[in-house]
Amino acid sequence: MKEMIPTYTLNDGMRVPTVGFGTDRFKGAEGTLTIKQALNNGYRFLDTAYAYENEATVGKAIKESHVSREEIIVSSKLPEVHHPYDSAVPAIQESLYRSGLDYFDIYLIHWPDPEQDKYVEAWQALIDAQKWGLVRSIGVSNFHPDQLDRLKEETGVLPVINQIQTHPYYVQEELIRANEEHNILTQSWSPLGSRMADDLLENATLSDIAQQHSKSIGQIILRWHLQLGYMPIPRSSSPVRQSDNLNVFDFELSDKEMTTISSLAKPDGDIYG
C-alpha cells in the first residue's frame, strides 16, 4: 500500500496532493503505460492540457488503472485559440469527450495571451463550466499579477491555482508574492528545469546538499518547492524516478540550505527565454 501524499487546500476548499504528475509528451500506448505506472507509484494528480494532445491517453490510463476515478485529480487547460467565450465552452466539452471523463477536477487557462486580450471571456467560460458541472475547480497558468487583478475586478472570481515556471534557476518572486496575497496556490511547471536548464540536475551546490541528506538532486529540488509552499508537477517516464520524486517527505532542508538553493537563481533562468 503506497503512503498517502500530504495535501494542500485550495481557496475554494478542494484538497490536492502536494506533488502532482506532469504528462506533457506522454501519448499513445507508451504514454498510457507511463501514466498507469505513475498512478501505481502513488500519484493522484495528473496535469494535462488540450494543447498536449494527450487528454485521451490520460483518460485511458485512468480507466485501465486500479485507482478509482474519484481518487484522482485531473487537471487540463484551455488553449489561447479557444479564449473567445463561444469557442471556450465547446472546447472544454471537447476536452472532456477526448478524455472520456465526465468532468475535470481542475481546468486552467493555459496562458493569458495578452495580445488577443480575450482571457477574461475565457475566465467567464470557466466560471460557467464550473456552474454546469463540467469542471470542479478553476485556475490559470502563466498569469501576471495585473492579469490576476483584472480577473478579480471584472468577474469577482479568483483562480485557485496559478501554474507557472519555477525552479531554482528561475524564482519568480513578484509573481509568487501576488499568488500568495490572493491565496492562490503556486503550481510549479518544469519544477526540475525540464532538463533544459543547463546543468541544474548536475549543479555542484545541489549535489553537496543531496549528499548531506542521502537524496538525489531531483529530490532536493522538489523538497525546496514543497518547503516554499509550491506544488511541483514533475514529469518522468522512469518508474524509479517517478517513485523518487514522491519520496520527498522524510527529510527537511534547513533555512540555510533553502536560502542557498534560492540564491542559485539566474537572470536568464527562464528555460523558454
Ligand X SMILES: NC(=O)c1ccc[n+]([C@@H]2O[C@H](COP(=O)([O-])OP(=O)(O)OC[C@H]3O[C@@H](n4cnc5c(N)ncnc54)[C@H](OP(=O)(O)O)[C@@H]3O)[C@@H](O)[C@H]2O)c1
Q: Classify 111 as helix, strand or coil.
A: coil
Q: 52 an active-site residue?
A: yes
211 lines the binding site for ligand X (CB under 6 A): no
Distance between CA atoms of 201 and 154, rounded to whole angstroms? Answer: 42
110 closest CA partner among 194, 53, 45, 182: 53
237 lines the binding site for ligand X (CB under 6 A): yes
| CB of 70 vs ligand X, minimal distance in Å | 22
234 lines the binding site for ligand X (CB under 6 A): yes
Part of the chain binding ligand X (CB under 6 A), chosen from 54-62, 82-90, 96-104, 236-244? 236-244
Which of residues 79, 216, 230, 269 is near ligand X by CB under 6 A? 216
C-alpha cell at 106: 481542475
194 lines the binding site for ligand X (CB under 6 A): yes
| CB of 96 vs ligand X, minimal distance in Å | 18
Q: Classify 17 as helix, strand or coil.
A: strand
Part of the chain binding ligand X (CB under 6 A), chosen from 7-15, 17-25, 150-158, 204-212? 17-25
Which of residues 22, 59, 159, 168 is near ligand X by CB under 6 A? 22
Question: How many C-beta atoms surround the C-beta of residue 154 within 10 A?
Answer: 12
CA atoms within 13 A on the CB side of 131: 8
Distance between CA atoms of 196 and 189, rounded to whole angstroms? Answer: 13
Complex with ligand X: residue 86 or 268, whichever CB lies closer: 268
How large is the angle between the packed helices 255-262 and 217-227, nearest 10 degrees? 100
Size of the site for ligand X (CB under 6 A): 26
Rg (C-alpha) for the chain, rounded Å, is 18
The 101-130 site mask, x for binding ligand X (CB under 6 A), equals ------------------------------
Part of the chain binding ligand X (CB under 6 A), chosen from 89-97, 121-129, 231-239, 254-262? 231-239
Q: Which residues of 206-227 are buried (b: 16+ CB within 10 A; e: fewer)?
A: beebbeeeebbbbbbbbbbbbb
Distance between CA atoms of 9 and 245, rounded to whole angstroms? Answer: 21
Residues of this chain, 132-171, that bind ligand X according to CB under 6 A: 141-142, 163
189 lines the binding site for ligand X (CB under 6 A): yes
* Residues at the interface with ligand X (CB under 6 A): 22-24, 47, 141-142, 163, 189-195, 201, 216, 218, 233-238, 241, 244-245
Active-site annotation, residues: 52
